[in-house]
């Protein structure tokens, strides 16, 4: 428990140092508060500025964008259809050119002039009937057959102006308002003050509120929900997760019984198990339950991701729900079914001794977890390091899907993302199981250590070099996992109370009851002390950060935080003593405080005063469809000049380019990765 306390104190100080660093403090998300369930009379910018004062910099009142969303979706669908058709046309013509070259009937360097008649260049190589075409009916299978390129140009000539008109109408304020408001403040401290203050005098109005929400992670459809719908949905989701846990117990219970199938051979309808060879029985009782459990658990997280206004809140909700699911299904249900199956024959013969028999045989369920740790450690770690799924998708599936320069660029430019809400609960549950069996069957600890070590080595490499994190929870995933470790301590103490009670050892049982009460009080105290520091930023640290920045800019002793460690241990240094490892370990609040950990955060990465252009800041919290422009089409350049002609004709309707991509002698797309920046490249915006 002390380790949980120490790690919590250390992490809170480190998190505060990061959130108060110049780069993060000046990000627009750190200065913006999202209010949901806003009453209709407060969906007014002037009124909101009056409530929150002169510190308000920008106000975005969210509106219904269903009409714009439909137009954007249709526009982008037609644009991508046009891009694929343009690429297909160029590749078809180039294939015919390559055939002609092999026969000696064409000059490979020949290129037609830009002012050639429209359509004539492609027509030199392919007839009109081979041009890209599609049908306008259901799924493109029935209906009138049209030339894809000409049809898409006509549709885009209609959709792009209609989309722009709808966007301009929204920007002018002519839209149906929904009960959600984004308010940007001048400084992070003012935003934190607005976040911590009670905004409205009526219950559940302008609440809940969120700070640090970046525009890409907003679930815009969830902002339309009123306060009473939010309450109903919350209970509905909890009820659904509870029902899922209850009914999922059936297949999980079967897995637990299989892990102790040896003890069921005496039941009359299972006597055939005696004829199963020992080697096969070992696989059935050892590996099969662990593999089956891993498959069952992989199906759950997808179901739990819904109902929150941002993806970060979705991750946090999924973490809680999936951890509860893991503890109940992977641990409790499996343990109970394994223990029950291990003593079922003895219980049938002596039902009055059921409690004591179960208590004595609970450690037998550890056999399942020994194999579970090893299977999870080997399979997950091997899968994480080898990236088998990613390899198959990248080299096989993408081979058939990368038919355009855009698809090729997306294939190479995007990293796979980690969903910590569904990843971390698996390992938290393994730690919980280890804590429980530490006192009941200590042998499990060794195998748990092996499994967790494999996880650590595999994920450490992946986090540093392979994967990306697209969702920013502002560092709230890890401390929540730390708190969840208390579940293992509680279950362990309850199990020991049951074991001592079944063995009529009243002295140890009373002692464990006292430990259980102490653990509960310790847990409550930690939460009451840590939570305010975890979910809010103190004003005192904000003031200290400002003074340290002034000192840094003046070239004082705390330049870039290097002198802060001396400040934090000034008392010890004055006595002429250097704190040792044990002192630092036992007193993280003294030797791992804010001023010490602040030096770990780089302060000169970017120019924090010029993070955004005026346009980016103006459109930051508009719905994405409102600020979405027509996509740039990217086609390959060809020696025949068809791409230039298509750019001339299609460019009258939508932006299009052929820079940075050509066709090789095998008619394959070649992307110039050395000298030309891809036209689709966009500088990442750190909201």
Burial state string for 486-511 with b = 16 or more CB within 10 A and e = fewer than 16: bbbbbbbbebbbbbbbbeeeeeebee
In the chain (687 residues long), the average pLDDT of successive 10-residue segments reads 88 90 88 92 91 91 91 93 91 87 62 48 82 80 84 93 93 89 92 89 87 90 84 81 73 58 51 57 52 54 63 86 83 67 56 56 68 75 74 68 80 79 87 86 83 85 82 89 93 84 82 93 93 88 76 56 43 53 72 77 72 87 91 89 89 90 84 77 84
**Residue 569 pLDDT:** 44
CA 223 to centroid of chain Cα atoms: 20
**Residue 482 pLDDT:** 93
DSSP string, 195-216: HHS---SSTTTT-SEEES--GG
Domain boundaries, the chain: 68-169+625-671, 241-471
Give CA angle at 262 (261, 263), nearest 5°: 90
Cα–Cα distance for residue pair 233/161, rounded to 1 Å: 38
**Segment 542-563, tens digit of pLDDT:** 777 777 777 766 655 444 444 4
Alpha carbon distances (Å) from 469 to 212, 303, 315, 387, 420: 16, 21, 12, 17, 9
Burial state string for 166-196 with b = 16 or more CB within 10 A and e = fewer than 16: bbeebeeeebeebbbbbbbbebbbbbbbbbe
What are the counts of helices (DSSP H) followed by strands (DSSP E) for the chain?
Answer: 30, 10
Torsion angle (degrees, nearest 10) of CA 184, 189, 195, 198: -120
Give CA angle at 373 (287, 243), nearest 5°: 85
Question: What is the DSSP code (8-state) at residue 632?
Answer: P
Are 669 and 661 contacting, i.e. CB atoms less than 8 angstroms apart?
yes
Cα–Cα distance for residue pair 454/381, rounded to 1 Å: 6
H-only helix segments in 188-277? 188-196, 227-259
Are 341 and 232 contacting, i.e. CB atoms less than 8 angstroms apart?
no
Give CA angle at 303 (302, 304), nearest 5°: 95
Tokens of 387: 């990236």
**Segment 640-687, tens digit of pLDDT:** 888 898 899 899 999 999 888 888 888 888 887 777 678 888 888 888
Burial, 639: exposed, middle or buried (Cβ in 10 Å; 0-12, 13-18, 19+)? middle
Q: Which residue has the tokens 């459109």?
A: 619
CA 51 to centroid of chain Cα atoms: 35
**Residue 284 pLDDT:** 53
DSSP string, 120-146: HHHHTTS-GGGS-EEESSGGGTSS-EE
Q: Are strands 133-135 and 656-657 parallel, antiparallel or unpaired?
A: unpaired
Distant-in-sequence, close-in-space partners of 297: CB < 8 Å, separation ≥ 6: 325, 326, 329, 330, 426
């Amino acid at each position: 428990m002390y380790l949980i306390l120490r790690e919590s104190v250390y992490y809170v100080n480190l998190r505060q140092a990061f959130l108060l660093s110049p780069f993060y403090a000046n990000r627009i998300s750190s200065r913006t508060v999202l209010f949901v369930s806003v009453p209709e009379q407060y969906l007014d910018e002037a009124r909101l500025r009056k409530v929150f004062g002169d510190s308000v910099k920008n106000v975005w009142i969210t509106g219904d964008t269903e009409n714009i969303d439909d137009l954007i979706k249709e526009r982008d669908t037609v644009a991508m259809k046009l891009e694929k058709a343009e690429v297909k046309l160029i590749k078809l013509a180039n294939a015919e050119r390559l055939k002609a070259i092999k026969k000696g009937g064409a000059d490979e360097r020949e290129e037609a002039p830009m002012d050639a008649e429209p359509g004539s260049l492609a027509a030199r190589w392919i007839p009109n009937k081979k041009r890209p075409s599609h049908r306008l009916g259901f799924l493109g299978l029935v209906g009138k057959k049209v030339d894809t390129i000409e049809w898409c140009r006509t549709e885009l000539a209609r959709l792009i102006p209609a989309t722009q008109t709808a966007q301009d109408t929204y920007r002018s304020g002519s839209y149906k308002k929904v009960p959600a408001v984004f308010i940007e403040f001048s400084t992070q401290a003012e935003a934190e003050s607005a976040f911590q203050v009670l905004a409205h005098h009526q219950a559940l109005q302008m609440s809940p509120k969120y700070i640090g929400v970046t525009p890409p992670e907003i679930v815009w459809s969830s902002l339309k929900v009123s306060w009473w719908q939010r309450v109903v949905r919350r209970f509905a989701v909890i009820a659904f997760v509870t029902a899922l846990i209850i009914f999922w117990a059936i297949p999980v219970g079967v897995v637990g019984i299989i892990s102790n199938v040896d003890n069921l051979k005496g039941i009359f309808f299972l006597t055939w198990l005696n004829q199963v060879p020992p080697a096969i029985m070992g696989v059935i009782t050892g590996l099969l339950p662990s593999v089956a459990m891993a498959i069952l658990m992989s199906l759950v997280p997808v179901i739990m991701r819904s109902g929150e206004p941002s993806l970060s809140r979705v991750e946090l909700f999924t973490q809680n729900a999936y951890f509860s699911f893991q503890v109940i299904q992977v641990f409790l249900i499996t343990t109970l079914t394994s223990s029950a199956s291990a003593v079922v024959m003895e219980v049938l013969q002596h039902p009055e001794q059921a409690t004591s028999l179960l208590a004595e045989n609970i450690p037998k369920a550890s056999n399942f977890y020994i194999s579970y740790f090893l299977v999870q450690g080997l399979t997950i770690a091997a899968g994480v390091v080898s990236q088998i799924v990613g390899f198959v998708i990248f080299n096989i599936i993408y081979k058939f899907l990368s038919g355009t320069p855009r698809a090729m660029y997306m294939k190479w430019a995007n990293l796979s993302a980690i969903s910590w809400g569904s990843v971390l609960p698996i390992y938290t549950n393994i730690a919980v199981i280890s804590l429980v069996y530490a006192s009941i069957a200590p042998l499990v600890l060794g195998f748990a250590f092996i499994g967790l070590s494999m996880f650590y080595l595999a994920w450490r490499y992946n986090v540093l070099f392979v994967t990306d994190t697209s969702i920013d929870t502002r560092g709230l995933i890890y401390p929540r996992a730390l708190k969840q470790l208390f579940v293992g301590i509680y279950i362990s103490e309850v199990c020991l109370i049951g074991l001592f009670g079944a063995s009529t050892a009243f002295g140890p049982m009373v002692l464990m009851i006292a430990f259980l009460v102490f653990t509960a009080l310790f847990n409550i105290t930690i939460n009451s002390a840590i939570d305010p520091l975890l979910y809010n930023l103190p004003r005192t640290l904000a003031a200290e950060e400002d003074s340290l920045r002034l000192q840094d800019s003046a070239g004082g002793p705390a330049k870039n935080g290097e002198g802060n460690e001396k400040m934090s241990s000034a008392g010890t240094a004055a006595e002429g003593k250097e704190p040792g490892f044990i002192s630092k370990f036992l007193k993280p609040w003294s030797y791992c405080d804010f001023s010490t950990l602040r030096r770990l955060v780089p302060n000169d990465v970017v120019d924090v005063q010029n993070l955004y252009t005026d346009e980016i800041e103006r459109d930051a919290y508009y719905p994405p469809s409102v600020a979405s422009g027509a996509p740039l089409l990217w086609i390959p350049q060809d020696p025949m000049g068809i791409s230039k002609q298509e750019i001339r004709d299609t460019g009258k309707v939508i932006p299009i380019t052929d820079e940075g991509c050509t066709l090789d002698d095998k008619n394959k797309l070649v992307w110039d990765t050395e000298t030309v920046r891809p036209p689709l490249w966009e500088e990442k915006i750190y909201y």
